[in-house]
A and B are shown apart, each in its own frame.
Chain A
């Protein structure tokens, strides 16, 4: 007999359908009213939008390019610092913390303008103004995202149960082997949704680059409005463009979050009833072939013997299958 799942009785189908239809009507009505309010009862000039949406394309291109470049280069840096934050040694951990807190704790605007000042004064490589500006924007975004991604990676690495490192070591895997086969596959799953969210954030943050005259999306839109353009139409086009990029990405995030859910793993803390500390300890063993983790098995080991290899007699398979149960093969 399962837990009582008494839901309140569903309201009649017709009522439900009626409400949904009503919801759609309401949304559309609100939109239309909103548009009329904004355009002061003149309605949307669709012809204008059709004629001018092309002017936004170069900016869109720049936006995407800068976002992608700075995101992925920031990822490399961020991973490095994030990993450093998980170390036992205070110096690298402290340095990494300074880096992360500096870029997460201050606004992007500040970072951007500081770099702007620096690059204006020192002009690396004697670049022409345009390129220098682009470089400034790229650097600012890259450094900023490295701080945030470092935190994401740190959380991902640390979320993987601490016992796993021990278990991997206890069967003879060196640090890097453990990393590769045990920690990483699990950490990757935890890390992908927030990383995708960060990409969306950088995409939105790139709009700030207009301030230093980088010809990205928002800048192009502003130019349109200066030239006597119709503000509402321009901003609607601008918003739609951003939405066209961000909404699919957030659907991707939701998809990843659902697909990669590992029950019991992850950042959300449920209500935990306090467990009594038992005398046994759970040590995780890794079964695999070719050094690739295929399954994880939990073995109960009496506490004082935990340092030795757990033997197969104590093992109970509770496994997390990373590649599907079919592929679980014992190495002997």
Chain B
């Protein structure tokens, strides 16, 4: 038969593992990691060999070590929580029951209309007191991260809503006509298509999350911008080296690029792997 010679075109979770290893994604991750590692190495060597002013080195190293790691960790924490919130709220938004969809709509409209920073500030300064957690900086930080997650959750809810609505009602009818239960209709027909269709918009949103995480520096979280501020302050006031200020921020910009690139590459490879001819994407 003509079909037997063709390689399988199955594209779902079963073939993802193999595809991941073969994918250009891995090469790109290695590339980025290599570039960053190389940078770090160059800086270290420069210090050892006296090419670089030790003071500049002292300014830059915490950025790379603590700042980049923390930014990455914050983003990695916010993305999944936001996605879960977004998925649930988005699902609620498309419900036929106003008792579910109206509160979801109100939630989305309110949260999207308030600046992230305001949410962060409020969460950081007030919520620990509300929940009787005294004195710890970490508690406030956790609440602030939660606030950010809720904020992106509202945006992701809109993305998921568009995704759910892009599946034609006829297919849901056809699935029911086959005898699939409501739950199965969801998992076998609606969700796979929603997933594929929302990926590009979600990738975009994840990039935004990385940038929004910079706001946490405003409450003292030790991520990239915090260290950048520190170092730039020092460079300006104590050393009066404007060149160092620019260098610091340039490196920070590069690091943000790197983290964003990583995340969008991962999402992009997911998109590529799960692509199906004829299934477009929702614009956002």
Do A and B share a direct contact in the complex (Cβ within 8 angstroms)?
yes
Question: Chain A: residues with CB nearer than 8 A to chain B?
Answer: 6, 16, 19-20, 22-24, 26-27, 30, 37-38, 40, 102, 105-110, 113-114, 117-118, 120-122, 200, 204-208, 210-211, 218, 222, 225, 231-232, 235, 238-239, 242-243, 246-247, 250, 266-274
Q: A205-B115, A218-B118, A274-B277 are in contact. List 14 more A-B contacts (CB 8 A).
A: A19-B99, A22-B98, A38-B126, A106-B256, A108-B211, A108-B214, A113-B225, A208-B117, A208-B215, A210-B117, A218-B121, A231-B126, A239-B118, A271-B280
Question: How far is B278's CA from A270's CA once the two chains are assembled, in angstroms?
Answer: 8
Q: Please classify the interface of chain B as helix (H, G, I), strand (E, B), loop, or mixed, using the class held by over half of its residues.
A: helix
A37 / chain B contacts, CB cutoff of 8 Å: 130
Question: How far is B103's CA from A22's CA once the two chains are assembled, in angstroms?
Answer: 10
Q: Are A242 and B98 in contact (CB under 8 A)?
A: no
A113 / chain B contacts, CB cutoff of 8 Å: 225, 228-229, 232, 249
Q: Are A242 and B115 in contact (CB under 8 A)?
A: yes
- Interface 1/0s, chain B 96-119, versus A by CB < 8 A? 011111110010011011111110
Question: How far is B252's CA from A109's CA once the two chains are assembled, in angstroms?
Answer: 11
- B26 CB-CB contact with A under 8 Å: no
Question: How far is B75's CA from A260's CA once the two chains are assembled, in angstroms?
Answer: 37
Tell me the minimal C-beta distance from B93 to chain A in angstroms. Answer: 13
Tell me the minimal C-beta distance from B77 to chain A in angstroms. Answer: 17
B103 / chain A contacts, CB cutoff of 8 Å: 23, 26-27, 30
Question: How far is B118's CA from A210's CA once the two chains are assembled, in angstroms?
Answer: 11
Q: Which of A121, A225, A238, A246 contacts B242 (CB 8 A)?
A: A121
- B16 CB-CB contact with A under 8 Å: no
Tell me the minimal C-beta distance from A63 to chain B in angstroms. Answer: 10
B236 / chain A contacts, CB cutoff of 8 Å: 117, 120-121
The 9 closest A-B pairs by CB, nearest first: A107-B214, A269-B280, A246-B113, A204-B115, A23-B102, A207-B115, A107-B211, A267-B283, A114-B249
Best-buried of A27, A106, A118 by chain B (most CB within 10 Å): A106
A267 / chain B contacts, CB cutoff of 8 Å: 283
Q: Please classify the interface of chain A as helix (H, G, I), strand (E, B), loop, or mixed, using the class held by over half of its residues.
A: helix
Best-buried of A204, A222, A225, A272 by chain B (most CB within 10 Å): A204
Tell me the minimal C-beta distance from B278 to chain A in angstroms. Answer: 5
- B260 CB-CB contact with A under 8 Å: yes
Question: How far is B125's CA from A183's CA once the two chains are assembled, in angstroms?
Answer: 51
B225 / chain A contacts, CB cutoff of 8 Å: 107, 109-110, 113
- Residue pairs across A and B with Cβ atoms less than 8 A apart, 30 shown, are A16-B98, A19-B98, A23-B98, A38-B126, A105-B256, A106-B211, A106-B252, A107-B214, A109-B217, A113-B249, A114-B232, A117-B235, A117-B242, A120-B236, A121-B245, A204-B117, A206-B115, A207-B115, A218-B118, A235-B118, A235-B121, A239-B114, A250-B109, A250-B112, A267-B283, A268-B280, A268-B283, A271-B279, A272-B278, A273-B278
Tell me the minimal C-beta distance from B26 to chain A in angstroms. Answer: 23
Query: Considering only CB atoms, which chain A residue lies closest to B216 in the complex?
Result: A109
A26 / chain B contacts, CB cutoff of 8 Å: 99, 102-103
Question: How far is B217's CA from A225's CA once the two chains are assembled, in angstroms?
Answer: 20
- B35 CB-CB contact with A under 8 Å: no
Question: How far is B125's CA from A268's CA once the two chains are assembled, in angstroms?
Answer: 42
Tell me the minimal C-beta distance from A320 to chain B in angstroms. Answer: 20
- Interface 1/0s, chain B 272-283, versus A by CB < 8 A? 000001111111
Question: How far is B229's CA from A105's CA once the two chains are assembled, in angstroms?
Answer: 19
Tell me the minimal C-beta distance from B79 to chain A in angstroms. Answer: 16
A105 / chain B contacts, CB cutoff of 8 Å: 253, 256-257, 260
Query: Considering only CB atoms, which chain A residue lies closest to B242 in the complex?
Result: A121
Tell me the minimal C-beta distance from A233 to chain B in angstroms. Answer: 11
B113 / chain A contacts, CB cutoff of 8 Å: 200, 242-243, 246-247, 250
- B57 CB-CB contact with A under 8 Å: no
Q: Which of A109, A239, A250 contacts B218 (CB 8 A)?
A: A109
A246 / chain B contacts, CB cutoff of 8 Å: 112-114
Tell me the minimal C-beta distance from B151 to chain A in angstroms. Answer: 10
Q: Are B256 and A118 in contact (CB under 8 A)?
A: no
Tell me the minimal C-beta distance from B74 to chain A in angstroms. Answer: 12
